[in-house]
Structure 1
Amino acid sequence: MDVSASRINSWISVAVTRKVQELDLSLPHTSCFELPDALFSSDTLKILRLDMRVLFKVPPLKHLSNLKTLRLWSVTFEGDQSTEQILSGCPVLEELDLYRCFWKNTVKVTVSVPTLRTLEISSLHSLRLFRIYAENLISLKYRSCFPVQVLLFGGAHNVETLTLSNDILECLSFEENLHTCLPTFHTLAHLKVISCNYGHTNGALMNFVLKSPNVESLEIPRVFHRDDRLLLNIVPQCLKSCLKTVIIAFFEGYVREVTFLKYFLKNANMLERVTIFCTRNYSTNLEKQNNVYHELQAIRRCIIEFCYSWTRRLTCFKYFAECVIECQ
């Protein structure tokens, strides 16, 4: 049932008085209200998670001096300056998770968080541009449809893992001079593209791979290429020297998918394992899987496994005993 703002504020104030270190609120509320000032004067709070309709507004000269983890879901910010004020008041913040947040009276936000290590952004409403400067960032997950200058900030090149939604690649595919705009991700070891729907690889993904010379694992959704010349004329440095694992989802055995896999097998000198998650229909066609398997093994001897993925179930299986023997 709906919880009144006064009751919520009372709970928060008492918790702060008692030197709370972790505060996690997920409460129903029909209208947006402001949090009590007491919350933003806590010098003991280390973890703050809010999943509720609330106006996240920090009073002037207030700081959360020991806050390390901040997760805000469905909250509302007054504008870009309020966001900057909030994060600048968290001098040791290491983890930031923003999901379905809303900004009033602004479409652009730029913030600087030098201590940030992990950043997750999902479905931000009302914004056209979101920039974060975080020179110590090591993990970034980004799921949204607005322009991706968030990825072009100084410091993103230090990430070790990078997770992008397919929408990101859609946006980037229309970006002029993308290769020039992207930083070089020298420390990036794990690159993953996710999507709720069937995704695709394209020039945008290849640009990320080209700018990531030390990637060891690459995970992407369904393969689709608008321009096969990308596979013929470009061989990223990571393929030549360090790529070890490739994972592809929603595989249906189309020529473009097999061509894509062959490209990696021909050029990835260190490749050890290829994992192929098949669609429901293709997973039952063992003859086609066998044919594709032998096509790929003819190019490079490595572990190639076909898996079945459907409605969040991942059931991996080796479909022929001979394949298991050859893989080993």
Structure 2
Amino acid sequence: MTTMEQRRNQNTVQQQDDEETQHGPFPVEQLQAAGMASVDGLKQLSLSLPFSDMIPRCTVSWKSLRNLSLIECKLGQESTDNILSGCPVLESLTLYACRSLERLDLRKSLSLRRLEIYHSHPGRELDPSGPVEIVAPHIHFLKLTVYADKQFTLTDVSSLTEAHLYIRINILLDSTAHCFQTLALELLAKLHNVESLTLGATLLRILSLAELRGDPFPTLKVQTLIIRTETEFAQSVPGIARLLQNSPGLKKLTVYMMHGYNIMSRNLDQYWGLKYKVFAPSNDSYSMLGCNVATSKVLAWFMELVLRNAKTLENMVVWLRSRYFDDAQWFEEQLQIVGTLSHNNNVSILLKRKNF
């Protein structure tokens, strides 16, 4: 059946010839009726099924498919195996808020190199919002966004070279965050061989509490580290320091900082203020908002902290993301300070601004 005939038979399917992409929504059993169960030349496919189960009543054969995205699908193991077996040259797989599939086994997907998984909010669905175990020995790229309400396991990601890891928690209290430290450290240990690693703000905060408790951290082989502290900068510092110390081959560091009420910790300073001296006490946190002098001290101190703990560092990029950094004169003064630090430590340091 030709592509034009498929479009006449299935009104919900649209094809963009330049990208060779098919769009849903439709459950698997409708693929055969639509003439899409076996399509030659199909390279990209995105299916969105927020209210439907994917039931394998037909054999899928997408022999040319390279990029597949499944959005809000209810996937069973049999359906997943059927789809994957019909995509022998699949290179990229994205699962966004896909329910019911608890174990994703990609050992037979020999061409798969890129995997992205996004869990939905745990209160949104009664069913699990995404796989909680991944077996993917062939992938090189992993982007993982999970909620810490459940245990998550990376059983085999032995070929991984680049990873982006984000943990989400509805409310993270300093008194209860230890419950998530095991998950965070186990995930980090599975990523110890990656060359490029990106970590989100909540994960950094959890790692900070693990550092304060004296939990052992894995040694990483990372060469490029990207940390997104956002508004939780102060609460991320202990974890960042330990990551730098445990990354003996680190060459490049990129930091995203955002000026906000949490630039100073209102809870953690009692634990780590003595070890990481620079920050004002919690009671003085709000007075530092909009204070260029105080922000300058924090910024300079943080860069010095990095330089002390990352002995092999060659490049550092610090992004300041907020309207609070719009003061041109203040920013020019920071550039001069950065230039001095860069010269004295033989490290290339770039300071950049980006507004929302």
Corresponding residue for residue 168 of structure 2: 167
Secondary structure (helix, strand or coil) at the match of 2:308 reads helix
CA distance in 2, matches of 1:92, 1:178: 33
- Give me the whole-angstrom Cα distance separating, in 2, the residues matched to 1:228 and 1:249: 12
Q: Distance in 1 between matches of 2:8 and 2:85?
A: 24
List aligned pairs for 1:114-125, cutoff 5 A: 114-115=109-110, 116-124=112-120
Are the aligned partners of 1:165 and 1:193 in contact in 2 as well (CA < 8 Å)? Answer: yes
User: Which range is displaced more, 173-182 or 84-93?
Assistant: 173-182
> 1:200 touches 1:225 (CA, 8 Å); kept in 2?
no
Letter in 2 for 1:204: L
CA distance in 2, matches of 1:208, 1:34: 50
Task: Flag the 1:221–1:283 CA change in 2: closer, same or farther, 3 A.
Answer: farther
CA distance in structure 2 between the aligned counterparts of 1:21 and 1:35, rounded to whole angstroms: 23
DSSP-derived class of the 1:127 partner: coil
- Aligned partners of 2:351 and 2:203: how far apart in 1? 19
Identity across aligned pairs (percent)? 19
**3-state SS, counterpart of residue 92 of structure 1:** coil
Task: Say whether the 8 Å CA contact 1:56–1:77 is kept in structure 2.
Answer: yes
2-side partners of 1:200 and 1:285: how far apart? 33
User: Quick one: distance in 1 between partners of 2:311 and 2:236?
Assistant: 24
Which residue matches 1:36? 31
C-alpha change, 1:289 and 1:301, in structure 2 (3 Å) is farther
Within 5 Å, give how 1:43-58 maps onto structure 2: 43-51=40-48, 53=50, 55-58=53-56
Which residue pairs with 1:130 in the alignment?
Answer: 132
1:59 deviation in Å?
A: 2.4
List per-residue Cα deviations over 1:56-115 (Å, max 9, x = no partner): 3332544433322111224x22534322332233333210012243x3xx3734332432
Letter in 1 for 2:132: F
State whether residues 12 and 36 of structure 1, in contact with CA within 8 Å, keep that contact through their aligned partners in structure 2: no
**Is 1:297 matched with 2:312?**
no
Q: What is the aligned partner in structure 2 of residue 111 from structure 1?
A: 105
Quick one: distance in 2 between partners of 1:172 and 1:178? 10
Aligned residues: 290
Distance 2:187 2:350 in 1: 36
Q: Counterpart in 2 of 1:323?
A: none
Pairwise CA RMSD:
4.4
Counterpart AA for 1:160: T
Q: What residue ranges of structure 2 are gaps of 5+ in the alignment?
A: 1-5, 265-277, 280-297
> Which residues of 2 match residues 150-299 of structure 1 at below 5 A?
152-155=154-157, 157-167=158-168, 174-176=180-182, 178-179=184-185, 182-185=188-191, 187-194=193-200, 201-204=204-207, 210-222=218-230, 223-226=232-235, 236-238=245-247, 240-251=248-259, 255=278, 258=299, 259-278=301-320, 279-284=322-327, 286-287=329-330, 290=333, 294=337, 297=341
Are 2:69 and 1:71 aligned?
Answer: yes
1:10 corresponds to? 9
Return closer, same or farther for 1:186/1:131 CA change in 2, 3 Å cut-off: same
Match of 1:71, SS? strand
> Normalization by structure 1: what TM-score?
0.67
The 2-side partners of 1:244 and 1:14 are apart by 44
Q: Tell me which amino acid in the other structure corresponds to 2:66.
A: K
Letter in 2 for 1:110: L
Distance 1:15 1:292 in 2: 51
Normalized against structure 2, the TM-score is what? Answer: 0.63
The change in CA–CA distance for 1:66 and 1:130 in structure 2 (over 3 A counts) is farther
Flag structure 1 segments of 5+ consecutive residues without an equivalent.
1-6, 312-328
- Which residue in 2 is equivalent to 1:25? 23
